[in-house]
Structure 1
């Protein structure tokens, strides 16, 4: 099996620890343990009471009943038994693709999007067609293009909602059109749903609440600001969950006792987490908008209070060279758009802490002045 290098991860693995002002990430500013434990109003006493009574064995293999119950509350029609805990959303995506895709299958993947969603199917021997998103259409895909791509033998459609790196959200009406086309040929629809719009979360609809053959993957890494515990999940119908179980046994045993407990604790306090993150995102989005308005060499299709964005930079040189020089001279880290096969753009994560964002944008502007 051959697979392309994972462009974003290779870039971050090489450079992120060198950054002073990291505005490349798509996580909403990660919580410290102290912040997380303060959610119960008693400095984590409820969490530690549970933790101190646990043996550090394998724990619940698929995720504890409490974890499954909390995840199922995020959806309208998902039974807790159909939730499977994974090693982040990357583990969830890998599990679903590994379980479903066979050599010769036809897969349609939104492009650009999270690289797993097209390069893993390719590596498994599938024929992958790209369903393009375009900047002049506000990074929205065209349903007519999907109609032209879909075939009687299409096995799977892969989406990223909201999209990484652009932050574009696909609304319910659009998703229903996708579902209608998928139903015609019996295709599955896999949607990576790690980004929730925090200005109007009610505008988000999960694919599993629209389609029986829909598969939702998610995690606590982005919207819930806890990437350090590496907990994600798949949510699906019962038939798919049973299929995933078999393949899951070959890819992981468990996420660990501590991680499961912390994930459940975060989900039980999700209203407080989302309130914290809504304030941060909306505040930083205003800072970001002001910067875009004042920076002549940057333009962007604004995300809908989603923690990732994809601005275009008007510079006369290779975007990767620019990003390396920016890091080395200003300490500011971005992800070059070439890592998403979109040179000329950068992924800018505006949901770092406010001080990092402000200083990072200031230094980015100072660096851009050399081209004036």
Structure 2
């Protein structure tokens, strides 16, 4: 099996540890252990007492009953039995694709988004057609192109909603059109839903729209806990859930006793965490958009309350060279757009700590000024 290098992950693996001002990440500012455990209302004492009494065996293989019930409650059509715990959303995506896609299958993937969603099917021998995001249409795809791409033998349509790194969101009306097209040929629709909007924009899961819908998610982005490494795959179909169960036995035994307990605590206090994160998104979005408005060498199609953005550069060097030089001279880390097949852009994660964002934007502006100097 051959697979392409994972562009964004390879970049971060090489450069994120050397950055002093990281505004490249896609999560909302991470919670500390103290902040999470304090959610128990007893300064973490209740959490740690429970943990100290837990045996470090395999625990609940598919996720504890409490975890499965809490995740089920995020949907209207997904019973707890159809929730399977995974190693983040990357594990959920891999499990679903690995379980269903075979050599010579035809799949359609939204592009460019999260590389996993098209390169894993390619590595399994599938034919992958791209359904293109259009920068000229605020990074939204054209439903007419999907109608042209769909085939009687299309096995799966893979989406990232909201999309990384562009921040565009497919609304319910649009998703219903996708479902109608998929249903016409019996195709599955897998949607990586780790980026939910936090600005009040309505969001609907594919698992609540389609009996062959597959939703993947995790605690990493919207819930500010990427270090927990807990995600899930869900579907309204028990038949599909059982297929995932079988393949999951070959890829993951359990999420771990500690991680499951922490995930349950986070989901039990979902409302408090989301309230905290809405404040961060709103505050940082204003700072960021004000900066874009006054910075002549950038432009932006604003994300819809989502923690990632795709900033367009107006500079005389390619985006990867720009990012390397920026990091070397200022310590500011961005992700080159070419790592997402979007050259001339960068991923800027504006939902980091506010002071980090402000410092990063100031240093970025200073670095951009070198291109304003007249040449002899």
Fold equivalence (TM over 0.5) = yes
Query: How far apart, in 2, do the equivalents of 1:145 and 1:40 lie?
Result: 49
Look up the match of 1:208.
Answer: 207
For the pair 1:240 / 2:240, whether they are aligned, the reply is yes
Q: How many residues align?
A: 371
Please list, as runs of the form range in 1=range in 2, the aligned pairs for 1:96-135 lying within 5 A after superposition.
Answer: 96-135=96-135
Query: How far apart, in 2, do the equivalents of 1:169 and 1:70 lie?
Result: 25
Please list, as runs of the form range in 1=range in 2, the aligned pairs for 1:130-145 lying within 5 A after superposition.
Answer: 130-145=130-145
- CA offsets, 1:330-352, max 9 Å, x none? 00000000001111000000000
1:44 CA displacement: 1.5
SS class of match (2:178): helix
1:49 CA displacement: 2.6
- CA offsets, 1:200-244, max 9 Å, x none? 15x000000000000000000000000001000000121111000
* TM-score normalised per structure 1: 0.99
SS class of match (1:15): helix
- CA offsets, 1:256-289, max 9 Å, x none? 0000000011000000000000000110000000
Look up the match of 2:361.
Answer: 361
- CA offsets, 1:34-75, max 9 Å, x none? 111122222112322321211011111100000000000110
- CA offsets, 1:66-117, max 9 Å, x none? 0000000110110001000000000000000000100000000000010010
1:150 CA displacement: 0.2
SS class of match (1:218): strand
Query: How far apart, in 2, do the equivalents of 1:285 and 1:82 lie?
Result: 36
Look up the match of 2:45.
Answer: 45
Please list, as runs of the form range in 1=range in 2, the aligned pairs for 1:161-180 lying within 5 A after superposition.
Answer: 161-180=161-180
Query: How far apart, in 2, do the equivalents of 1:227 and 1:110 lie?
Result: 24
Structure 2 portions without partners, runs of 5+? none
Structure 1 portions without partners, runs of 5+? none
SS class of match (1:54): coil
Look up the match of 2:75.
Answer: 75
- CA offsets, 1:152-207, max 9 Å, x none? 00000000000000111110000000000000000000000001100115x00000
Query: How far apart, in 2, do the equivalents of 1:247 and 1:259 lie?
Result: 22
Query: How far apart, in 2, do the equivalents of 1:187 and 1:56 lie?
Result: 41
Query: How far apart, in 1, do the equivalents of 2:258 and 2:159 lie?
Result: 31
Look up the match of 1:326.
Answer: 326
- Superposed CA RMSD: 0.7
SS class of match (1:357): helix
Query: How far apart, in 2, do the equivalents of 1:186 and 1:64 lie?
Result: 33
For the pair 1:230 / 2:229, whether they are aligned, the reply is yes
Query: How far apart, in 1, do the equivalents of 2:19 and 2:197 lie?
Result: 27
Please list, as runs of the form range in 1=range in 2, the aligned pairs for 1:179-328 lying within 5 A after superposition.
Answer: 179-200=179-200, 203-236=202-235, 237-328=237-328
Query: How far apart, in 1, do the equivalents of 2:179 and 2:118 lie?
Result: 19
Query: How far apart, in 1, do the equivalents of 2:337 and 2:72 lie?
Result: 35
Per mean C-alpha deviation after superposition, the further-off stretch among 45-54 and 349-358 is 45-54
Structure 1: which 4+ aligned runs deviate by more than 3 Å? none
Query: How far apart, in 2, do the equivalents of 1:283 and 1:271 lie?
Result: 18
SS class of match (1:104): coil
